[in-house]
Amino acid sequence: MTDYAPTPEFTEQAVGQASLYDEAADHEAFWAARAREYVTWSQDFGTTLDWSDAPFAKWFVGGELNASYNCVDRHVEAGNGDRVALHVVGANGDDRTITYADLLREVSKAANALESLGVTKGDRVAIYMPMIPEAVIAMLACARIGAPHSVVFGGFSSDALKARIEDGEAKLVITSDGQFRKGKAMPLKEAVDRAVPGTTAGKVLVVKRTGIDVEWDDERDVWWHEVVDSASDQHEAPAHDSEHPLFILYTSGTTGKPKGILHTTGGYLTQCAYTNAVVHDVHPETDVYWCTADIGWVTGHSYIVYGPLANGATQVLFEGTPDSPHQGVFWEIVEKYKVSILYTAPTAIRTFMKWGADIPAKYDLSSIRVLGSVGEPINPEAWRWYREHIGGGSAPIVDTWWQTETGAIMNSPLPGVTTLEPGSSQRPIPGISAEILDDEGQPLTEPEKVGYLVLTKPWPSMLRGIWGDPERYKDTYWSRFGPEYYFAGDGAKYDADGNIWILGRVDDVMNVSGHRLSTAEIESALVSHPRVAEAAVVGASDETTGQAVVAFAILRQDGETGGAESDELVQELRNHVGQQIGPIAKPRQIMIVDELPKTRSGKIMRRLLKDVAENREIGDVTTLADSSVMNLIKDGMAKPS
Ligand code: PRX
């Protein structure tokens, strides 16, 4: 049996030591110490945690700070201005190096420019950009002013962008003319032009990235290079309250309407910086860290922008995709920049496995000393491949479980302390408390019994609510097992060694390539098509993407179906979903059916559809209103299309 215990050499140099677990016995004292260790406060805080209005938490009460100052200025003040903050790897061969001193100038200019466009503290700013440094600069400039940003993933459609601008009532949108995708310039501002009319957004700030032609509205649109380049590079970072909103980030829930997850400043920054230090084992003076997420997701927020920059780390920012210009591009980057810490997603790892170990074998990956995984469960086979072929057979892998709502890592091994268990994120990190409850809310301790993962104590980077919807916040997270338990929405079990295994979502949320998608959101996109009467969507297991979207649709009676027309229609429906939500939401398969399996109360039994989608024996059909429906669906599937 392979022993995955840390080596003594690793343990000796590790940031996160075993003593942290002991220290965390005093929950609030532990977090107060982390807040003072990792964050520079302009005004020290008094009370560590105010939970009197639970589940609405206040952390580090009375404290004041500026997140942007913490991520940039203080490193320059400490004499590290020449340290590289970002090795920018462009998708067009145009690499750049940005030091902390450069970053300070750029963020200050951008903050001045945003103010000149009328953005003030409290205003929301939507950011819809590719993975270019201006995206990071824009986020930090917003944080500096105290204008919460709402980053919308650049792969989302203009409809999805519009819904998010409207919900957050954003005053300004920051975007780029276009973006490079596999060497080609693709439009981006175009989607903003369609999204903005009729919303609160009065101005659009546009970075020129590709030089492609764009429509221009002189009243509304402003070039980044015109207002930012000419702005002063001096900007005093004002102090903001610890609980001042830092950002809103939308994520899928069980209903069709995405939730605007609200994060505030002091607690969020504390936990991002602390976890990045102890889990990724970042030594800012020597490490080169690379998180391959997109800033449009929470991983990019916490582990590209706020955590590593607060720690003064040197990182890689990659604009491209793993297969362009070739399938070895990740490893070429690791070799070139001597990346020592790599944080990526299981779906990427499984893709690399499929492409073959001979590709990474062509590169020198000896700089790698820590590997991370995030976004979905990593299957032990992928874990071993990652360790063997990327980690040189020895790099610890930190499998980190967390969520948009938790803001930062919650369950993970500490690489210098924990004996690793492939496939499990193992246990809560010091400062976090989790349990597994059964259906009745009783704690499960026995191994292999499946229950629900809950968090039992408030934590600094916890969401502070759902933007504009406090009731939904309480209902979604704090009611399933009563107000003391945060219900994460994940099924989980212990193994015989006490490791926690996350078994995936227990609600109607799918996880496709580590991206959260709601079945309801895709169903409502499908029924918004004139030909569709009713739709049901399930997440079916998929070898590469973890889960894949499989849809079942009933057509309106007035249209023709069958034969070639139905193939075309399926394609049209897939594109329709892509247009409504974004390409990531396009179903892998759409099956046109005559009926859907429903209970007598009319609820669609997704469990049975999942059996069909995963080619399994159909489970218990006794609660179906009409038990012949499943035969019809199965027969329909067996027919060649
Ligand atoms: O189901 C869990 C899964 O991803 C969900 C959170 O998704 P999101 O808010 O988009 O954040 C993803 C990045 C933090 C969780 O409820 N998940 C995330 N990480 C893991 C995971 N499942 C198992 N193991 C993980 N390491």
At position 442, the amino acid (one-letter code) is Q
Which residues, other chains included, contact 126 with Cβ-Cβ below 8 Å and sequence gap of 6+?
149, 150, 151, 152, 161, 164, 165, 168, 170, 172, 173, 174, 201
Atom of ligand 1 nearest to the CA of 411: 26
Instruction: Output the CA 401–ligand 1 centroid distance in Å.
Output: 6
Alpha-carbon dihedral of residues 135, 203, 517, 260, nearest 10 degrees? 100
- The whole-number average pLDDT for the span 447-466 is 97
| Residue 534: exposure state from Cβ atoms within 10 A (0-12, 13-18, ≥19) | middle
Distances (CA, A) of 439 to 108, 254, 446, 453: 52, 19, 15, 11
pLDDT for 130 equals: 97
Minimal-distance CA residue to ligand 1 atom 3? 376
Domain 8-492 CATH superfamily? ANL, N-terminal domain (3.40.50.12780)
Instruction: Give residue 559's pLDDT band: very low, low, confident or very high (50, 70, 90).
Output: low
**Proportion of the chain above pLDDT 90, given as a percent:** 85
Q: What is the DSSP string of 159-209?
A: HHHHHHHHHHT-SEEEEESEEEETTEEEE-HHHHHHHSTTSS--EEEEE-S
425 lines ligand 1 (CB under 6 A): yes
505 lines ligand 1 (CB under 6 A): yes
253 lines ligand 1 (CB under 6 A): no
Q: Within 10 Å of residue 567's Cβ, how many Cβ atoms?
A: 11
Q: Where are the alpha helices (DSSP H) in 39-84?
A: 67-68, 74-75
| Average pLDDT over the chain, rounded to an integer | 94
**Mutate-to-test residue for ligand 1 from 295, 374, 545, highest number of ligand atoms within 8 A of CB:** 374
Instruction: Output the CA 96–ligand 1 centroid distance in Å.
Output: 32
Instruction: Give residue 561's pLDDT band: very low, low, confident or very high (50, 70, 90).
Output: low
Q: Which residue has the higher pLDDT, 596 or 21?
A: 21
Instruction: Output the CA 409–ligand 1 centroid distance in Å.
Output: 10
266: left (phi over 0), alpha (psi -120 to 50) or beta: alpha
pLDDT for 641 equals: 36
Instruction: Output the CA 440–ligand 1 centroid distance in Å.
Output: 24
Boundaries of every domain in the chain: 8-492, 513-638
| Residue 623: exposure state from Cβ atoms within 10 A (0-12, 13-18, ≥19) | middle
Contact 403, 429 (CB under 8 A): no
Torsion sign over Cα 389, 391, 396, 401 = negative
Do the domains at 8-492 and 513-638 have one common CATH topology?
A: no
**Proportion of the chain above pLDDT 70, given as a percent:** 97
Segment 14-71, tens digit of pLDDT: 999 999 999 999 999 999 999 999 999 999 999 999 999 999 999 999 999 999 999 9
**Mutate-to-test residue for ligand 1 from 295, 303, 490, 541, highest number of ligand atoms within 8 A of CB:** 490
Segment 346-396, tens digit of pLDDT: 999 999 999 999 999 999 999 999 999 999 999 999 999 999 999 999 999
Would you give the DSSP letter of residue 530?
Answer: T
375 lines ligand 1 (CB under 6 A): yes
Task: List the one residue out of 623, 629, 541 whose CA is nearest residue 589.
Answer: 541
pLDDT for 640 equals: 44
Q: How far apart are CA 330 and CA 136, in angstroms?
A: 21
Per-residue tokens: 39: 């964050």
Task: List the one residue out of 257, 259, 256 whose CA is nearest residue 520.
Answer: 256
**Mutate-to-test residue for ligand 1 from 301, 343, 376, 507, highest number of ligand atoms within 8 A of CB:** 376
Atom of ligand 1 nearest to the CA of 404: 9
Which residues, other chains included, contact 26 with Cβ-Cβ below 8 Å and sequence gap of 6+?
none
Between helix 629-638 and helix 606-613 the angle, nearest 10°, is: 20
The pLDDT of residue 1 is above 80: no
Q: How far apart are CA 256 and CA 254, in angstroms?
A: 7
User: CATH class for domain 513-638?
Assistant: alpha beta
251 lines ligand 1 (CB under 6 A): yes
Minimal-distance CA residue to ligand 1 atom 14? 403
Minimal-distance CA residue to ligand 1 atom 12? 375
Which residues, other chains included, contact 19 with Cβ-Cβ below 8 Å and sequence gap of 6+?
none
The pLDDT of residue 593 is above 60: yes
Contact 2, 273 (CB under 8 A): no
401 lines ligand 1 (CB under 6 A): yes
Minimal-distance CA residue to ligand 1 atom 22? 376
400 lines ligand 1 (CB under 6 A): yes
Which residues, other chains included, contact 576 with Cβ-Cβ below 8 Å and sequence gap of 6+?
525, 526, 528, 529
The pLDDT of residue 615 is above 90: no
Atom of ligand 1 nearest to the CA of 516: 10
Within 13 Å, how many C-alpha atoms sit on residue 478's CB side? 20
Instruction: Give residue 620's pLDDT band: very low, low, confident or very high (50, 70, 90).
Output: confident
Minimal-distance CA residue to ligand 1 atom 15? 403
- The whole-number average pLDDT for the span 213-227 is 98
376 lines ligand 1 (CB under 6 A): yes
- The whole-number average pLDDT for the span 480-505 is 95
- The whole-number average pLDDT for the span 533-546 is 92
Q: How far apart are CA 342 and CA 289, in angstroms?
A: 6
347 lines ligand 1 (CB under 6 A): no
Instruction: Output the CA 116–ligand 1 centroid distance in Å.
Output: 39
- The whole-number average pLDDT for the span 467-487 is 96
343 lines ligand 1 (CB under 6 A): no
Atom of ligand 1 nearest to the CA of 504: 1
**Mutate-to-test residue for ligand 1 from 516, 517, 545, 547, highest number of ligand atoms within 8 A of CB:** 516
Q: Which long-range contacts (CB under 8 A, 24 or more apart) does 77-83 make?
A: 78/312, 80/312, 83/284, 83/312, 83/314
Instruction: Output the CA 246–ligand 1 centroid distance in Å.
Output: 22
Q: How far apart are CA 514 and CA 281, in angstroms?
A: 23
399 lines ligand 1 (CB under 6 A): yes
| Least confident among 65-74, 249-258, 396-405, 562-571 | 562-571
For residues 61-88, b (16+ Cβ closer than 10 Å) or e, as one string? Answer: ebbbbbbbbbbbbbbbeeebbebbbbbb
511 lines ligand 1 (CB under 6 A): yes
Q: How far apart are CA 437 and CA 452, in angstroms?
A: 5
Residues linked to residue 98 through DSSP beta bridges, in sequence order: 86
Instruction: Give residue 127's pLDDT band: very low, low, confident or very high (50, 70, 90).
Output: very high
Instruction: Give residue 135's pLDDT band: very low, low, confident or very high (50, 70, 90).
Output: very high
**Mutate-to-test residue for ligand 1 from 402, 405, 410, 411, highest number of ligand atoms within 8 A of CB:** 402
Segment 421-449, tens digit of pLDDT: 999 999 999 999 999 999 999 999 999 99
- The whole-number average pLDDT for the span 606-634 is 80
502 lines ligand 1 (CB under 6 A): yes
